[in-house]
Amino acid sequence: MAAQPLDFYFDFASPYGYFAAMAIDELAARHGRAVVWHPILLGAVFKNTGVTANVLRPLQGDYLRHDVLRSARYYQLPLTWPAVMPINAVAPSRAYYWAATEDADRARALAKALYRAHWQEGRDISGIATVADVAAGIGLDAEALMAGVQEPAVKDALRAATDAAMARGVFGSPFVFVDGEGFWGADRLVQVERWLAQGAW
């Protein structure tokens, strides 16, 4: 029986989610694993749990803005600070679940393109027109996407993913599960890799 895939939860508004998104597939593949991507809306989790987003907390917000830029250079990933941040990620997240209804690979390619547009080029990807433009850039049908994100099943898929994440204890982005073991943060990918290599320690 093949090993279980990793579950990768993230919010498009999260820069640390971007760092993880650029590394997680290759990391898992080194250990013969696949990854299931799950964009979610952390804002809904925060609302449900009464928590303030870390970037909006006093002192921590200033630190995070500095740490994100420094960490991007540390990981050698391009980063342009978006003019609008944090964005509402409903549109890009729904676009992902629309793309996933047909093909997980194209959904993943779209997610990576959206992350690059937002965090590498600094584009505001909260509007569906921009999302469709990014999708067209990787060969997807922009008109089909614009219609698709209105389908109840697509809206439900995003809600269900966010609810499922919260039920599993997800409170931040990125959040990775390996065989039921949860790891929060791009800086925990080092531990994720150790877990994949040797199992529980």
- Closer to a second copy by Cβ: residue 79 or 128: 79
Q: How far is the CB of 8 from a second copy (least distance, A)?
A: 16
Q: How far is the CB of 45 from a second copy (least distance, A)?
A: 8
Q: How far is CA 163 from CA 103, 114, 160, 177, in A?
A: 23, 23, 5, 16
Q: How far is the CB of 174 from a second copy (least distance, A)?
A: 13
Residues 6+ apart with CB under 8 A from 146: 128, 132
Taking the CB of residue 157, how many other CB atoms lie within 10 A of it?
A: 20
Catalytic: which of 14, 93, 126, 173? 14
- Closer to a second copy by Cβ: residue 96 or 183: 183
Residues that bind a second copy (CB under 8 A): 45, 49-52, 57-60, 62-63, 66-67, 70-71, 73-74, 166, 169-172, 182, 184-185, 187-188, 191, 194, 201
Sequence-separated contacts (24+) of 145-151 with Cβ below 8 Å: 145/95, 145/98, 145/99, 148/95, 148/98, 148/101, 149/91, 149/94, 149/95, 149/98, 151/98
- Closer to a second copy by Cβ: residue 75 or 112: 75
Q: How far is the CB of 89 from a second copy (least distance, A)?
A: 19
Measured over the CA atoms of residue 93, residue 98, residue 104 and residue 109, the dihedral's sign is negative
- Closer to a second copy by Cβ: residue 2 or 200: 200
Annotation says 126 is catalytic: no
Q: Give the count of alpha carbons within 13 A of 90, CB side only.
A: 10
Residues annotated as catalytic are: 14
